């Protein structure tokens, strides 16, 4: 190993530490994140000292957070993100300002100068997007109310990091920092708007044909390279104007959420995201300055416990104000109470601007790293000590499947769609095992006498217990598209004998289900829309029989059109051509039939019947 390059040796150290620590941590029930952090501590300067360039590794590994936000953005279509605008800017601002105000007041009361208190409070008010979203993904919390609320707040924090960093030079301005001229400020603002506008326009107009052109090469590695180059370019653009790389990547992901190559992008980037996130957590473990901790362990403990308690108080109150289920509030609070990776940047910038001494910045950075290390342990404690008490409290009793079920039908999701399926089966005396992971929905269903098991149908062990090995049909009625596709893939891999009957949210979801071999797919509003159309025709004077005939003809035509579109659903131009041709054929057919009816009514033959 004497002549091996340093990067090769370091790569071996990182991978070896992760391969040993993460499986060991998961075996102990501590989760993967604590394994990565522990591995970083062991190989870092205060462990075995195998790696010393911690700062360089941390900057590189932050790209894992960027990739994660890009993938999250791919799951959020613009219209869905628009529906989250109130929790993002309402509850997000309440969390940041509420936590910052409480922490600043505590700092001033403890005798800390107000400028230091403000900078410290703003940095500590931010949470770790990397850890929170990783844990939400592992626990499948993102589709839940607390997951959506937590994501909204984390997204606002990424936005809030920008004005926080802009505020620091003003706080340090009295210590010699020159205030930028108005012209310079306008120039910076113009750059920011130009970059954001370029990303929006590029995502809408240029990326789709570019990705289509690259995909036509039929070279998978080039498409992977293009996906990574896209994220790197956007991150570089955002950083060049002083904005958050992660925020820019998220924005790009949202713009590509309706792109036909979304799944390919996810598949290509997912492995890199996992590796770089693991490297990020290892770098955080290495960055913990134990010298500062050992010099003043009491002060470090007071800072960590104090800011965790203050943030938990505010965040729990926000969770209650948002109406989150009682069982979800402890995990929601723990995930947002920790310090975040943006705090490292805030405190380093504060020290550089003269707002706080370097020793204070190191102490706060150490406190944030320790809080990130404690969060996975805190979650384990919540799972074992707190949540069982909530389960036995006045909240809804969430009965999980403890014994194998034998019903021939499994229904995943018991919302407005799954309930209709379940009620019709029950009316025919057909038993079904019903799964749902929304506590409020389960409580409401049980109030009407339905037996619903609490559980996530994307878990293999839960599907086995629900009787998937012996069942005949799995009805996938969940509302979330990503979760629906995950259930399909799980069932296809482990229970190929199951007949899948799925609910499609829209045309894109329908195509994705068909791509996975699901043939029995129903669009959730199609039949009810046809009923409304029939009612409109009857109001206009058509007989019930005529209205029904027209609706059934349209239904048959629409289903045939879908089958014609499906082979081309990744080629937008071809899909548009097929749709236009199908619509023209239907209109021509309807026009011919109207003309024939008029001829029969006007002809000398028999008088028209009631259904002519």
The kind and range of the H/E element at 607 are none
State the first-to-last Cα distance of the chain, in angstroms, to the nearest integer. 90
> For residues 283 and 292, what is the distance between their CA atoms, to the nearest angstrom?
18
Q: Are 266 and 21 in contact (CB under 8 A)?
A: no
CA distances from 104 to 108, 307, 309 (A): 6, 10, 14
Tokens describing residue 336:
């947002």
CA 392 to chain centre: 30
- For residues 596 and 612, give the distance between their C-alpha atoms in angstroms, rounded to a whole number: 10
Give the predicted TM-score (pTM) of the model. 0.57
Distance CA 217, CA 465 (A): 45
Best CA proximity match to 121, nearest among 379, 368, 332: 368
Q: Where do the H-state alpha helices sit in 428-471?
A: 439-447, 460-465
Residue spans of the chain under pLDDT 70: 1-7, 29-31, 52-62, 64, 75-81, 83, 140, 143, 162, 166, 172-189, 191-192, 203-204, 242-244, 246-247, 257-263, 388-403, 439-440, 447, 449, 596-597, 600-612
Paired tokens of 149: 């609320």
Pairing of strands 473-476, 409-412: parallel
- Residue 434: in which H helix or E strand, if any? strand 432-436
Half-sphere exposure of 193 (CA within 13 A, CB side): 6
- The rounded Cα 591 to chain-centroid distance in angstroms is 48
The tokens of 64 are what? 């894992």
Element (H, E) at 412: strand 409-412
Residue 474 β-bridge partners? 410, 500
pLDDT at 395: 46
Burial class (CB in 10 A: 0-12, 13-18, 19+), 31: buried
Name the helix (H) or strand (E) containing 543.
none
Residue among 245, 280, 285 nearest 368 (CA): 285
213-256 pLDDT, tens per residue? 877 777 777 777 777 777 778 777 777 776 667 667 777 777 77
DSSP, collapsed to helix, strand or coil, labels residue 242 as coil
What is the Cα–Cα distance from 403 to 136, expressed in whole angstroms?
A: 27
Predicted local distance difference test score (pLDDT) of residue 100:
92
Please state, in angstroms and rounded to a whole number, the distance separating the CA atoms of residues 326 and 189. 43
Closest by alpha carbon to 431, among 467, 407, 404?
Answer: 407
Q: Quickly count: other Cβ atoms within 10 Å of residue 97's Cβ.
A: 14
Taking residue 75's Cβ as centre, other Cβ atoms within 10 Å add up to 16
DSSP assignment letter at 173: G
Q: Are strands 499-504 and 473-476 parallel, antiparallel or unpaired?
A: parallel
Measure the CA dihedral 221/224/226/232, to 10°. Answer: -130
- Name the nearest CA neighbour of 80 among 204, 265, 257, 319: 257
What structural domains and CATH numbers belong to the chain?
A: 6-174+181-381 (1.20.1530.20), 398-523 (3.40.50.720), 525-604+608-612 (no CATH)
Q: Can you tell me which residue has the tokens 């619509």?
A: 583
Nearest CA to 332 out of 91, 524, 90, 56 is that of: 91
CB neighbours (10 Å) of residue 421?
Answer: 20
- Model pLDDT, residue 46: 75
Query: Strands 453-454 and 499-504, how do they pair?
Result: unpaired
Lateral strand order in the sheet of 473-476: 453-454, 432-436, 409-412, 473-476, 499-504, 520-523
Query: Which parts of 216-296 fold into alpha helices (H)?
Result: 220-240, 245-255, 262-287, 290-295
The tokens for 488 are 């399909």
Question: How many CB atoms neighbour CB 599 within 10 A?
Answer: 10
Determine the Cα–Cα distance for residues 468 and 464; give it in Å rounded to an integer.
5
- Rounded CA separation 374/386 (Å): 16
Task: From 580, 606, 589, 590, select the one nearest 537 (Cα to Cα).
Answer: 590
Residue that has been written with the tokens 């820019």 in this structure: 248
Task: Determine the length of the chain.
Answer: 612
- CA–CA distance, 205 with 223 (Å, rounded to integer): 19
The alpha carbon of residue 38 and the mean position of all alpha carbons in its chain are separated, in whole angstroms, by 26
Point out which residues pair with 432 in neighbouring strands: 409
């Amino acid at each position: 190993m004497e002549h091996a390059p340093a990067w090769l040796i370091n790569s071996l150290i990182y991978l070896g530490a992760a391969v040993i620590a993460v499986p060991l941590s998961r075996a102990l029930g501590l989760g993967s994140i604590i394994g990565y952090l522990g591995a970083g501590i062991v190989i870092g300067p205060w462990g075995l000292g195998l790696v010393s360039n911690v700062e360089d590794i941390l900057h590189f590994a932050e790209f894992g957070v960027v990739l994660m936000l890009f993938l999250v953005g791919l799951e959020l279509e613009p219209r869905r993100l628009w529906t989250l605008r109130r929790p993002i800017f309402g509850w997000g601002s309440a969390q940041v300002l509420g936590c910052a105000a409480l922490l600043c007041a505590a700092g001033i009361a403890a005798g800390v100068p107000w400028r230091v208190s403000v900078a410290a409070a703003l940095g500590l008010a931010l949470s770790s997007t990397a850890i929170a979203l990783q844990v939400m993904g592992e626990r499948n919390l993102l589709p839940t109310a607390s997951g959506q609320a937590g994501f909204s707040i984390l997204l606002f924090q990424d936005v809030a990091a920008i004005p926080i960093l802009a505020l620091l030079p003003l706080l340090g301005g009295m210590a010699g920092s020159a205030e930028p001229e108005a012209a310079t400020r306008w120039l910076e603002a113009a750059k920011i708007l130009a970059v954001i506008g370029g990303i929006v326009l590029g995502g809408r107009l240029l990326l789709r044909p570019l990705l289509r052109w690259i995909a036509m090469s039929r070279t998978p590695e080039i498409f992977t390279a293009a996906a990574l180059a896209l994220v790197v370019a956007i991150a570089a653009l955002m950083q060049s104007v002083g904005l958050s790389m992660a925020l820019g990547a998220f924005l790009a992901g949202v713009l590509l959420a309706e792109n036909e190559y979304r799944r390919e992008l996810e598949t290509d980037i997912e492995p890199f995201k996992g590796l770089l996130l693991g490297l990020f957590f290892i770098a955080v473990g290495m960055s913990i300055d134990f010298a500062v901790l050992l010099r003043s362990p009491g002060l470090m403990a007071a800072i960590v416990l104090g800011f965790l308690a203050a943030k938990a108080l505010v965040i729990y109150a926000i969770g209650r104000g948002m109406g989150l289920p009682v069982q979800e509030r402890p995990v929601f609070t723990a995930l947002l109470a920790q310090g975040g990776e943006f705090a490292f940047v805030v405190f380093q910038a504060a020290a550089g601007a003269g707002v706080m001494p370097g020793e204070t910045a190191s102490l706060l950075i150490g406190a944030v790293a320790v809080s990130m290390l404690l969060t996975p342990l805190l979650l384990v404690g919540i799972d074992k000590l707190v949540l069982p008490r909530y389960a036995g409290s006045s909240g809804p009793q969430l009965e999980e499947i403890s014994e194998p079920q034998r019903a021939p039908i499994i229904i995943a999701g018991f919302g407005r769609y799954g309930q209709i399926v379940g009620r019709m089966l029950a009316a025919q005396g057909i038993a079904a095992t019903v799964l749902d992971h929304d506590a409020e929905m389960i409580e409401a269903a049980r109030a009407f006498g339905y037996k619903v098991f609490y559980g996530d149908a994307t878990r293999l062990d839960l599907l086995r217990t629900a009787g998937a090995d012996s069942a005949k049909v799995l009805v996938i009625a969940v509302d979330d598209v990503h979760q629906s596709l995950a259930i399909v893939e799980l069932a296809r891999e482990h229970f190929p004998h199951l007949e899948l009957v799925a609910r499609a949210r829209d045309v894109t979801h329908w195509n994705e289900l068909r791509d996975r071999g699901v043939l029995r797919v129903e669009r959730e509003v199609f039949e009810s829309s046809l009923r409304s159309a029939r009612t409109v025709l009857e109001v206009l004077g058509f007989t019930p029989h005529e209205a029904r005939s027209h609706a059934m003809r349209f239904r048959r035509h629409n289903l045939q059109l879908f089958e014609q579109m499906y082979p081309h659903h990744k080629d937008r131009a071809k899909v548009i051509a097929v749709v236009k041709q199908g619509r023209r054929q239907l209109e021509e057919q309807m026009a011919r039939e109207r003309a024939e009816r008029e001829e029969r009514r006007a002809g000398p033959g028999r008088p028209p019947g009631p259904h002519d």
